[in-house]
Amino acid sequence: MKNVLIIGSTGQIGSELTMKLRGIYGGDHIVAGYIPGAEPKGELAESGPSEIVDITNAQQIAQAVRKYHIDTIYNLAALLSAVAENKPQLAWKIGIGGLMNVLEVAREQHCAVFTPSSIGSFGPNTPKDGTPQDTLQQPKTMYGVTKVTGELLSNYYALKFGVDTRSVRFPGLISYVTPPGGGTTDYAVDIYYYAVQGKKFTCPIKAGTFMDMMYMPDALRGAIEIMEADPAKLKHRNSFNIASMSFDPEIIYNKIKEYIPGFEMVYDVDPLRQGIAESWPNRLDDTCARMEWGWKPEYDLDAMTRDMIEKLRVKFGIKQ
C-alpha cells in the first residue's frame, strides 16, 4: 500500500488526482499538500488528511513525509505557461527551486517522485508532427525552460542518487471539474463551458493551430500507471511523451456544434498565447510510453465532447 503526498493538491490536476488515488489506495494514505489561501474544500478536505506543504519550504516537505510515512511524492506545483511568462522568477522558484527541495527530501527519505513535464518542453525547432520521444528541446518560454530543466534534474537524481523519478509530458488537459488556470491550451476547456451555457465563445488561438490535448481521466491514469510500472521495463524515465488527440480550434468547434448546433465562436487572437502555441508540437509520438509501460488513451475527441457536455450540463443544472 502506497503512502502518497500530493504537492499542489488543489490545482487543476491535483484535486482530481488526489480523489482518484484515494479511491485506489484509501483516503488515509493520500495526503493533500496545499499552501495557505488554497486550502482543500468539500470532498477534497473531508476524504483524507491534508497538510500545509509549500514547495519552496524544504522543511515543510520533509516534515509531511516523516509524519505520514510517505513513499511517493506527486509534485504538481507549477505556474502554467501564460502565467509563467508574466512571472518568470516565480516560475523558476517554484518549478526548479521547489523541485530541488522535493528531490533532496526524496533522496534522504527514499521516496519515489512524479513531476509532470509538458508539450511546452519542446520549442520551435522541434519536429512538429510525430514529435519523437528523444529530440531537440529548446523552448522559448520560461514554462518550457523549467520543464526541460526539471526533466534533466530528475534524471540526474535517478542516475546519481538512485531516486525513483518518473514523469510524463502532459498535453493540454481538458476537465469539467476544475476551471482553467492560465494555460495556453485552456481555450479547449473554456469552449465547452461557453457552449453548454449558450454563450458565444471568443477564441484566443488562431484557426489552424494544432496542439496535443487529452481528457483528464486519461491524464490521471497516465500519472498513476507510470508510477505503478515495472521499473525494469523503463528505458526512459523523465519524461514520456503521452498522446490522445490533436486538433485546432475549428475542429473542436465543429465537433461541439454536432451536439449544440446553435453554438457560435469568433476569434480574438491573444499574441502571447498564440506565440506560445506556435512554438509547440502539433502531435507527439508516444510509442515509447506504449511499449515500455503499456500506455493507451481511452478517449478521443468525440467521446470527450459527449462526456464534457453531459457533465457540464449537470454541473450547471442545465436541462437538455
State the residue for C-alpha cell 522568477. Answer: 89
Task: Please name the amino acid found at residue 79.
Answer: L
Residue owning grid cell 456544434? 257
Three-state DSSP at 36 gives coil
What are residue 283's DSSP bridge partners?
Answer: 129
Which of 274, 223, 200, 259 minimizes the C-alpha distance to 11? 223
Q: What CA–CA distance (Å, rounded) separates 301 from 294? A: 21
Alpha helices in the chain (DSSP H): 12-25, 42-46, 58-67, 81-86, 88-92, 98-109, 142-161, 187-196, 216-228, 249-259, 271-278, 287-293, 301-316
- What are the residue numbers of the active site? 143
The C-alpha angle with vertex 149 and arms to 240 and 16, in degrees rounded to 5, equals 55
172/267 Cα distance (integer angstroms): 20
- Nearest Cα residue to 256 out of 243, 247, 244: 247
At a CB cut-off of 8 Å and minimum separation 6, what does 114 contact? 72, 73, 74, 75, 165, 166, 167, 223, 226, 227
Query: Helices 301-316 & 187-196, crossing angle to 10 degrees?
Result: 50
- Cβ within 8 Å of residue 160, ≥6 positions away: none
Strand, helix or coil for residue 33: strand
